Structure 1
Amino acid sequence: MNEQRGQWGSRLGFILAAIGSAVGLGNIWRFPYTASSNGGGAFLIPYLFALLTAGIPILILEFAIAHKIKKSVPGVFGSVKNGLQSLGWIQTFVSISITVYYTVIIGWSMNYAFYALSSKWGTDTSGFFFGEFLNITDSPFNIGHINKGMLLALAAVWLINYFVLSSGIKAGIEKANKIFMPLLVACLVIVAIRGITLEGAVQGLDYFFKPEFSKLSDPTVWLAAYGQIFYSLSICFGIMITYASYLPEKTDIVNNAFMTGLGNCSFSILAGMTVFSVLGYMAAQQGVSVAEVSAGGIGLAFIVFPKAINALPGMNGTFGAIFFLCLIFAGLSSSMSIIEVIVSSIQGKFDIARKKVLRYIIVIGFLISLIFVTGAGLYILDIVDHFVNTYAIALAGLVEILVLAYMVDLEELRSYANGMSDFAIGKWWIYTLKYLTPALLAIMFVFNTYVDFTKGYEGYSLKALMVYGVGTLVFIVVGALVFNRIKGEDEKNNQISRGDAV
């Protein structure tokens, strides 16, 4: 079949798509809490340091090698060395594992955007979320029944992804991000302006930005900064390699990487200002400290923020709907990029028509995601998310960096990137990739593993962690090995391209 490989129509389209992928739900509900609990304004120092010494160097690496080889993720690693396709398939199956629960959270946001108009969650936002909305059971193994109230929104998320992705790169992903990203920024700015004009907003912003420089001597703060960078930049699990493989021949790799990294960072800071200005108002109304109402993760979005929306002096419904629209746009721009990794990998392997591959992915993905809209769905989602991010992405990222840093001529790749860019990167780029970044990734992996094995995770039983957490890791590895062994169209040309690719 050999369909022509897609290509971005403009540099702006690629940048918006790359930033759209990096800017996800975690920027809104994870970064603000991580920053405030790790030194406030002082956290920006290790965060920016991590961005410059790990985030952007990896972006440049993934952009450059993908642009040079122009294949799917398995194809890129297979071109580096025969047999390394399995690493690309591991990253593809990581994307599969993320997609099936990420779409569920976007569906929740759609429901809550409508609920906000009438404050359907009432005064007991926690009870509503866990009870009436999720119908949560008492354990991860008490599956309960499928929550029909979530099905429509979940189906809508998968269908939106299908219609966008079926149109291809230029007419689909690029066009969608040119709509979603401006809308996301506009919605967030509206919420931010409303937030900072509220009584008590100054206290919230002070809590967010006030630097605790003593925290900088704590190694866990630096690990948290690097963890946030890896969590939020969409690196090391196939997205940026896939997106960069669609770049035209002449493109500014270095500038693209810096704009993507700094754009993501700027959005995170704006999201932090938005969240903590509203939390400051909420704290002032209750007569408590900002720390007492501060929260991160799903609890911030679906429990704490609805409570804050209730307390607003006016236009509660409009404000709430706009906030959840932020989550929807951020989620959709990220989910499109994750699904594109899967589409690109399978299409490249088997040379099947794009829409046919996409239909299989959407149907199978939707069916798998149904487990997350059962009574035990939140438990399973929490465990799977933790294991995928803590172990699968971290370990796949570590292996990727080691493979590309020591099996690819980085000096040649640096010259390749510099030859197309407005400003050049120095040898510091090579040193960070060969020594600093893999060392920090290894430390993070060991530290998180130690914490999990000594303290457990969120009080879940060992059985639950093994079944849902380790089970997901087994699924990723076994799936990758199976697909790696299947002979596809990409292997026919691999030997030819390998000699010239890297």
Structure 2
Amino acid sequence: MSAPNEESTGAPREQFSGQTGFILSAIGSAVGLGNIWRFPGVAYENGGGAFLIPYLVALVTAGIPILFLDYAIGHRFRGSAPTALRRLGGRWGRWTESLGWFQVSISFVIALYYTAIIGWALSYFVFSFDLRWGDDPAGFLLSDYLEASNEVALTSDIVASVAVPLALVWIAAIVVLTLGVSRGLERVNIIVMPLLAVTFGAVVVRALFLDGAAEGLNAFFTPDWGALSDPNVWIAAYGQIFFSLSIAFGIMITYASYRRRRSNLTGPGLVVALANSSFELLAGVGVFATLGFFAFQQRIPVAELETISGIGLSFITFPAILSQMPGGAAVGALFFGTLTLAGFTSLLSILQVTSAAVQEKFGLTPRSGAMAIGTVSALLSFALFSTTSGLYALDTADHWTNNIGVVASAVVMSVLTVWVLRRGPELLHHLNAVSTVKLGRVWLALVGVVVPAVLGYMLVRGIVTVATEGYEGYPTGFLLVMGWGTLIAMGVIAAVATALPWRRNGHDVQPWPPYPTVAATEEN
């Protein structure tokens, strides 16, 4: 009996128009804000040039294998994370579906605060033209722009300067999502990704010709070989690779499900991973060349600069540099324009995870699904992250979501697939049947052994650290609400969504048969 297709259970599934659109969209998801402000600081603090060794090892042994796992699950079982994982689970499908909804809830939470950061970048794009932050970028960010409260506690006071750009970002994102995969997501990425490469390339080139740029690059690339004996450096490398590739929280499962039946998976996956890592290295060059100029102006070593990563780097240190840089207004517009574009393409992929899952569970069209998810998300985003406590709420939710939620999702998914359900060989065969770059059983070992071991250690260490030491000195009550409360909310969303009935039989569609069958392959 042949497997039913999508047309027999509802409307035909959307698809990317071709391989180029998929690759650019996947790169657009992977290349985000963290590539620009996280990687340079992580590399510098963990051995400089020597960090590239554990970074590449982590890419090969964890990043790419989990990326391929996401691709295999999404493409073979043709659905969003809950749908695909339910089909993967077979008779245990209801339990595996809950993991899919947990991944959806992760994306849902990330979208709420990620949109706020894009709104900040959009505001600073406008501020760049007159260098509005003046001589005190820190005071401008915290007091004038964010109007951050002195006390770390949730407030309901809306900050207009944050709410307006936040509204613009949400409107743009909802409009793109309502257009669907090929007419919305794909077209935006085809336009934005080349533009992103050009604008950020211009920023890097300008940075390389600044006074002190060479000293900044020396600080970044000079290897500290002794760091390689520190286990924390290796953990940092795995964490950076893992967080930067948009894996294990539904994005790549969803994107792969929109590919045609006989679509190359491993080749494009390697392109996406290489492009993401190349952009991170380019970001490191640009950031540290600029920091070298800043240190030169202050007559201090680069090592004595206070902020070299994160929000402080982008919205405090860089504005201070731009105020001293020849042509700072133009460079600032390019830099914050780059942040906005990089963040927006990643945001679209995050929102598509939630929208696709809701569409399939409740039988909605792409337009109605995008409108429903977009409206609810926008309201919550405004309530939590456009207030005077938005900075603290964002910082806390991000830490718990990424360091505990996403890591836990990856560990459970790899163990579940390889050891509990024993679907690893089937997924390996599927990848090899449709792809140009063939994988061996070492891929199963990496997914089933290396990833759970390394990420399991990261997960335990992350939980113990925040449970015993807290986070950033924030009050315990605040951490219970915005940290642990965020994780609890994810679990509740996953449980409720799993318990709700399906509005159509899309979750019962069988996977594509192997091409050719395993038996036929073995005979040949």
Decide: shared fold, TM above 0.5: yes
Q: Deviations over 1:181-232 (max 9, x none)?
A: 1111111100000001111000111111111110000000000000111111
Partner letter of residue 14 of structure 2?
G
| 1:461 equivalent in structure 2 | 475
Question: CA–CA distance in 2 between the matches of 1:7 and 1:144?
Answer: 41
Alignment of 1:100-111 (within 5 A): 100-111=112-123
Q: 1:497 aligns with which of 487, 510, 514?
A: 510
| 2:85 equivalent in structure 1 | 77
Partner letter of residue 53 of structure 1?
T
| 2:485 equivalent in structure 1 | 471
Q: 2:334 aligns with which of 296, 307, 322?
A: 322
34-43 or 58-67: which moved more?
Answer: 58-67
Q: 1:331 aligns with which of 343, 346, 354?
A: 343
Alignment of 1:77-476 (within 5 A): 77-81=85-89, 82-83=93-94, 84-141=96-153, 143=155, 145-293=157-305, 294-312=307-325, 314-370=326-382, 371-406=384-419, 407-476=421-490
Question: CA–CA distance in 2 between the matches of 1:195 and 1:495?
Answer: 54
1:19 aligns to 2:27 (yes or no):
yes
Q: Retained in 2: the 8 A contact 1:143–1:374?
A: yes
Q: CA 1:326–1:309 in structure 2 vs 1: closer, same or farther (change >3 Å)? A: same
Q: Retained in 2: the 8 A contact 1:80–1:408?
A: no
Q: Retained in 2: the 8 A contact 1:139–1:379?
A: no
Question: CA–CA distance in 1 between the matches of 2:511 and 2:194?
Answer: 40
Structure 2 residues not aligned, in runs of 5+: 1-8, 519-524
Q: What is the SS of the residue equivalent to 2:211? A: coil
Partner letter of residue 375 of structure 2?
V
Partner letter of residue 355 of structure 2?
V
Q: Retained in 1: the 8 A contact 2:356–2:369?
A: no
Question: CA–CA distance in 1 between the matches of 2:73 and 2:422?
Answer: 9
Structure 1 residues not aligned, in runs of 5+: none
Q: What is the SS of the residue equivalent to 1:348? A: helix
Question: CA–CA distance in 2 between the matches of 1:499 and 1:4?
Answer: 15
Q: Retained in 1: the 8 A contact 2:41–2:309?
A: yes
418-427 or 113-122: which moved more?
Answer: 418-427
Q: Retained in 2: the 8 A contact 1:166–1:358?
A: yes
Q: CA RMSD in A?
A: 1.5
| 2:500 equivalent in structure 1 | 486
Q: CA 1:120–1:349 in structure 2 vs 1: closer, same or farther (change >3 Å)? A: same
247-256 or 112-121: which moved more?
Answer: 247-256
Deviation at 1:30, TM superposition (A): 0.4
Deviation at 1:254, TM superposition (A): 1.0
Question: CA–CA distance in 2 between the matches of 1:64 and 1:449?
Answer: 30
Question: CA–CA distance in 2 between the matches of 1:347 and 1:161?
Answer: 17
Question: CA–CA distance in 1 between the matches of 2:136 and 2:433?
Answer: 59
Question: CA–CA distance in 2 between the matches of 1:433 and 1:381?
Answer: 31
Question: CA–CA distance in 2 between the matches of 1:415 and 1:483?
Answer: 31
Q: CA 1:3–1:493 in structure 2 vs 1: closer, same or farther (change >3 Å)? A: closer
Question: Kindly, what percent of the aligned residue pairs are identical?
Answer: 40
Question: CA–CA distance in 2 between the matches of 1:498 and 1:205?
Answer: 50
Deviation at 1:53, TM superposition (A): 0.4
Q: CA 1:180–1:272 in structure 2 vs 1: closer, same or farther (change >3 Å)? A: same
Deviation at 1:499, TM superposition (A): 10
1:67 aligns to 2:75 (yes or no):
yes
Question: CA–CA distance in 2 between the matches of 1:493 and 1:92?
Answer: 18
Q: Retained in 2: the 8 A contact 1:40–1:209?
A: yes
Deviation at 1:362, TM superposition (A): 1.4
Q: What is the SS of the residue equivalent to 2:440? A: coil
| 2:522 equivalent in structure 1 | none
219-228 or 421-430: which moved more?
Answer: 421-430
206-215 or 357-366: which moved more?
Answer: 357-366
Partner letter of residue 472 of structure 1?
T
Paired residues in the alignment total 500
Q: What is the SS of the residue equivalent to 2:261? A: coil
Question: CA–CA distance in 1 between the matches of 2:376 and 2:367?
Answer: 14
Q: Retained in 2: the 8 A contact 1:115–1:121?
A: yes
Q: What is the SS of the residue equivalent to 1:281? A: helix
Deviation at 1:453, TM superposition (A): 2.5
Deviation at 1:412, TM superposition (A): 2.7
Deviation at 1:142, TM superposition (A): 5.2
Question: CA–CA distance in 1 between the matches of 2:76 and 2:503?
Answer: 20
Question: CA–CA distance in 1 between the matches of 2:468 and 2:157?
Answer: 34
Deviation at 1:496, TM superposition (A): 5.5
Question: CA–CA distance in 1 between the matches of 2:154 and 2:478?
Answer: 11
Deviation at 1:493, TM superposition (A): 5.0
